[in-house]
Homo-oligomer: A and B are copies of this chain.
Amino acid sequence: MTMAEKVEIVEVGPRDGLQNLSCFIETRQKVDLIRHLASAGLQDIQVGGFVSPRAIPQFGNIAEVSRTVIESIHGVRFNALVPNVKGAVDALSCGIRHLSFVFSVSEAHNKNNVGKTPEESLQELAAILDLLPSYRGAAVTVDLATTFGCPFIVKVPEERVLLYVQKVHEMGVRRITLCDTVGFGNPRQVQRIATTCLSSFPDVTFRCHFHNTRGLGCANALAAYELGIESFDTAIGGLGGCPFAPGATGNTATEDMAFMFSEMGVETGISIPRLLETVRFLREIIPSVKLESSLARAGLPGAEHKGCSM
């Protein structure tokens, strides 16, 4: 087993995290949050989603946020979620060059989420891939939602996951994110799917996206990492989660996962103290939201007061 020496952490908090909030975050605050994240060392940041503002009002200012960060924050690869051609065109028009095209392996979830069957989503993807040559440097990552479970059908057959990996691979996609959208995944399932994906599609760069809904975000990431997956989505403060599952927590917190890898001696490029400052900034802009960040709550080792018992 070859161990990677570094890992790529992609920050999705400004998208996956903020989309669940009931309060609208102003452009300036979103840009400041992204600036904080960049200064903590995050080099890949998902700025939001190019979706209908009727569906997700939080992204009503996505164009302005995108243009501002591209213009004013350098050295970061900004990406945006797009569910269809319209979103892709809008994102590309704003200067975004890294598109995260999302669709669900589970038909029930895809219909609920983006209003299409998976096959219809693949047609959108095909159209987006046709567009790319017109935009210098443009690239697509496909996010396979509900890879590890679906809130509607619960268990998603692994053959179905592999089928869609194969389909997008045949379309020429070489970056695929396996998403545990609702935190149903377990390490053994991750090992099975990762093993098959890595061996069957050696020319694909796989990423994983693990919600920490049931506390297994870091365990699942560890399982994937040990097999050779070296890229993970996370959200600052553990933001995110499903607005329709009260109490469910969100993405694995960026600071928790960065802490795990950093303590393991795996390079992340991230300054954890600066990340904790970013969590403090986040608390200022959304004081009423309870963050799910173990590290922010407990502090770095050595920050404890004296005198723990047994």
Binding site for B on A (CB under 8 A): 16, 19-20, 49, 56, 81, 83, 102, 109, 112-114, 145, 149, 151-152, 154, 181-184, 186-189, 212-219, 221-223, 242-245, 247-249, 253, 256, 259-260, 263-266, 294-295, 297-299, 301-302, 304-310
Pick the contact of A242 from B112, B242, B308 — CB < 8 Å? B308
Q: Are B249 and A297 in contact (CB under 8 A)?
A: yes
> A216 CA to B115 CA in the complex, in Å?
37
Query: A113-B310, A186-B260, A216-B218 are known contacts; what are 20 more A-B pairs with Cβ within 8 Å?
Result: A49-B310, A81-B310, A114-B310, A154-B302, A181-B310, A187-B264, A189-B263, A189-B264, A213-B298, A214-B295, A215-B215, A222-B222, A242-B308, A243-B308, A244-B304, A245-B298, A245-B304, A245-B305, A247-B298, A249-B294
Q: Are A247 and B297 in contact (CB under 8 A)?
A: yes
Q: Are B309 and A56 in contact (CB under 8 A)?
A: yes
> A245 CA to B308 CA in the complex, in Å?
8
> A265 CA to B191 CA in the complex, in Å?
13
Q: Are A151 and B308 in contact (CB under 8 A)?
A: yes
Pick the contact of A215 from B182, B253, B302 — CB < 8 Å? B253
What are 7 inter-chain pairs, A to B, with CB distance below 8 A?
A19-B310, A83-B310, A145-B310, A152-B306, A154-B301, A182-B301, A244-B307
